[in-house]
A and B are shown apart, each in its own frame.
Chain A
Amino acid sequence: MTVEEVVAILPLNVVAGASCMDKSIKSGYTSDLLSNVMGFAAADSIWITMQGHQNIVAVALLAGLAAVIVAGGAKLESDTIEKASTEGIVLLTTELSSFEVAGRLYELGVRGA
C-alpha cells in the first residue's frame, strides 16, 4: 500500500512531501522516543508520533521511513515542515490519537515489522 492510498482513506493532512507519496508502506511503528524508532522501526515504515520538532525529519530520513504521522493534533514546528519539504519526507497530521491511527492502519493491512 502506498502513502497516497492511505492518505485517500484516512483523515490525514499532507503538510510536506506531497510529491513523494508514491512510496510504498512495508510496515508501521508507533513511538515518541526517537532512538527507539531508530533502533526498531523497519525501513519503509509509516511512523506515528506526537513529537512535532524538526528532529523527527532527520529520524525519518536516516531510518528510511515511508512517512511520518504526527497524531493527536500535536503541534508541528514550522522548521519541521520546512525541513521535511527540503528533504522530501512525507509529513502528515491528524486529530486522531496515536492509538486510533495505528488501529485504522492495521485495519488497512499495515502490520508491525
Chain B
Amino acid sequence: MNSRQAITTEFKLKAGDFGAAGEASSQIKRILQQIGVKAEIARRIAISAYEAEMNVIIHSMGGIMRIEILPDRTDIFVEDDGPGIADVNLAMQEGYSTAPDHIRDMGFGAGMGLPNMARCSDEFEISSEVGVGTKIHMVIRYK
C-alpha cells in the first residue's frame, strides 16, 4: 500500500438503532486485522469507532461515520444531525452523561464515551453547535 492508497468506508448511523450498534466498528476491526494492523492498535481504533458510533445512536438524531484506513494511520470522522452539545467541556468529563434511564439500564451512559475516544486516539477534535450537530475527528497512528 503506498501513501496515497486508503480504504475508505462510510456508515449511516440511525438514531436508537441498538440492534445494529457496533456493526460499523466490527467491520472496521475486521479490515484492520486483515491488512495486518497490530492487534493493540486495531483495538484502539475499534474502541474509538465504537464509542463514536454509540454516541450517535444514543444521543443524536442520526449521522454518519467515515473511516479512512491509511498505511500509517486511521482517521475517523463522525458527523451527526443534532441536537448538538451545549457544553463540550462538561461532556468530556468522565462520569458526566445526559443519557436517559432506560439507556443507562442497558449499561450505556456511563459518561465514558468521549473520554474513551480521547484516550484511545492520538488526535481528537470535537466541535458542536446546539441545533446543528456535533463533529468529531480522530486520528490513530500505527506507531
Interface residues of chain A, those whose CB is within 8 Å of chain B, are: 32-36, 38-39, 43, 49, 51, 53-59, 61-64, 79, 87
Where the two chains meet, the residues of B that have a C-beta atom closer than 8 Å to any C-beta of A are 18-19, 21-23, 25-26, 29, 39-40, 43, 46-47, 49-51, 54, 106-108, 110-113, 115-116, 119
| Contact status B22-A33, CB under 8 Å | no
CA distance A35 to B99 in the complex (A): 13
Closest beta carbon of chain B to A56's beta carbon, Å: 8
A55 CB contact (under 8 Å) in B18, B40, B43, B110: B18
**CB atoms of A36 and B112 under 8 A apart:** yes
Selected from A33, A36, A58, the residue in CB contact (under 8 A) with B50 is: A58
- The CA of A12 and the CA of B107, in the complex, are separated in Å by 23
Nearest Cβ on chain B to A85's Cβ, whole angstroms: 14
**Docked-complex contact A62 and B116, CB < 8 angstroms:** no
Query: Is B26 a contact of A35 with CB atoms below 8 Å?
Result: no
> What is the CA–CA distance of A41 and B26 in the complex, to the nearest angstrom?
18
Question: Which residues of chain A are near B50, meaning CB under 8 Å?
Answer: 38, 58-59, 62
Measured CA separation A61–B29 after assembly (Å): 9
Contacts of A62 in B (CB 8 A): 22, 25-26, 29, 43, 46-47, 49-50
CB pair A33 B39 closer than 8 Å: no
A47 to chain B, nearest CB (A): 12
Q: Which residues of A have CB within 8 Å of B51?
A: 35, 38
Q: A79 contacts which chain B residues (CB < 8 A)?
A: 19
List residues of chain B with CB within 8 A of the CB of A38.
Answer: 47, 50-51, 112, 116
